[in-house]
Amino acid sequence: MTLRGRLTTAFLVVVLGPVLLGSIFVAVTVATVSRDRTAERLDHAATTVRTGLAATCRQLQAAADAVAVVPPDARWDVVGQLIARGLATDIRIVATTPPPRPPGATDELDGWQDCATPATEVAGQSSNAVAARAVTGDLTVVAAQATDHDFMTRLAAAAGAEVTFTSPEQPADEGRRLTPQPGQPLFLTVTVPSHQPAFLYAVLPAVVLAVALAAVLVARRLAHSTTRPLGELAWAADRVADGELDTRVPIPHPDELGRLAATFNRMTRELQAYVQALTASRDQLRGHLAILGETLSSTHDLHRILQVILRTALAATGARAGLVLLIDHSSGQLVAQCGLGLAGRWDVPEAELPQQRLPLGEGVLGGVAATGEPRRGRGELASSEPPCRTYVAVPICAPGVPEEPGDPAPFPETLGVLALYDRVGGDTFDDSDLSTLRTFAGQAGVAVHNVRMHEEAQRLSLTDPLTGLWNYRYLRESLRREVERASRFGRMLAVLVLDLDHFKDVNDTYGHAAGDAVLGEFARRIRVGLREVDVAFRQGGEEFVVLLPETDAYGGAIVAERLGAAVRERPVIVDGIPVPISVSIGVAVYPEHGENSPQVLGAADRALYAAKNAGRDTYRLAEPADVTKSGVSPGDQDGDFDPTTAVPSGPRPPQHRRGR
Phi, psi (5° rounding) for residue 180? -65, 145
* Residue 102 counted as domain residue: no
Measure the CA–CA gap between 553 and 538, rounded to whole angstroms.
22
Round the average pLDDT of the chain to a whole number and report it: 80
Q: What is the CATH number of the domain that holds 359?
A: 3.30.450.40
Contact present, 604 and 587 (Cβ < 8 Å): yes
Domain identity same for 420 and 478: no
Domain identity same for 79 and 183: yes
Domain identity same for 391 and 488: no
Q: Examine the fold and report which residue of 169, 191, 213 is the final residue of a domain before the chain moves on.
A: 191
Which residues form the domain of 335?
Answer: 299-402+410-445
The answer, yes or no, to whether residue 578 has pLDDT greater than 60, is yes
Q: What is the CATH number of the domain that holds 587?
A: 3.30.70.270
* E strands, 307-452, in order: 319-328, 333-340, 357-359, 375-378, 390-397, 414-423
Contact present, 636 and 602 (Cβ < 8 Å): yes
Average pLDDT over residues 418-430: 85
Domain identity same for 523 and 428: no
| Count of other CB atoms within 10 angstroms of residue 91 | 25
Instruction: For residue 430, give the 3-state DSSP assignment.
Output: coil
Q: Which residues are CB-contacts of 430 (< 8 A; sequence separation ≥ 6)?
A: none
Q: What is the pLDDT of residues 469-485, one digit of tens each?
A: 988 888 998 999 999 99
* Residue 351 counted as domain residue: yes
First to last CA, the chain: 104
**Which pLDDT does position 659 carry in this prediction?**
38
Average pLDDT over residues 269-297: 72
Q: Examine the fold and report which residue of 191, 212, 234 is the final residue of a domain before the chain moves on.
A: 191
Domain identity same for 390 and 536: no
Q: What is the pLDDT of residues 527-572, one digit of tens each?
A: 998 998 999 999 888 999 999 999 999 999 999 999 999 999 899 9
Domain identity same for 414 and 539: no
Contact present, 210 and 151 (Cβ < 8 Å): no
Domain identity same for 419 and 543: no
DSSP one-letter string for 162-186? EEEE--TTS--SSSEEE--BTTB-S
Domain identity same for 134 and 29: yes
Q: What's this model's pTM, rounded to 2 decimal places?
A: 0.44
Reduce the secondary structure of 394-410 to three states and give it as a string: EEEECCCCCCCCCCCCC
Phi, psi (5° rounding) for residue 161? -150, 170
Q: Examine the fold and report which residue of 168, 191, 214 is the final residue of a domain before the chain moves on.
A: 191
Domain identity same for 159 and 30: yes
Report which listed range, 200-204, 593-597, 634-638, is most confident.
Answer: 593-597
- With bands split at pLDDT 50, 70 and 90, how would you rate the model's confidence at 295? low
Domain identity same for 538 and 428: no
How many structural domains does the chain have?
Answer: 3
Average pLDDT over residues 245-269: 82
15 versus 470: the higher-pLDDT residue is: 470
| 352 alpha-carbon distance from chain centroid | 45
Q: What is the pLDDT of residues 145-174, one digit of tens each?
A: 888 888 888 888 888 888 887 766 655 556
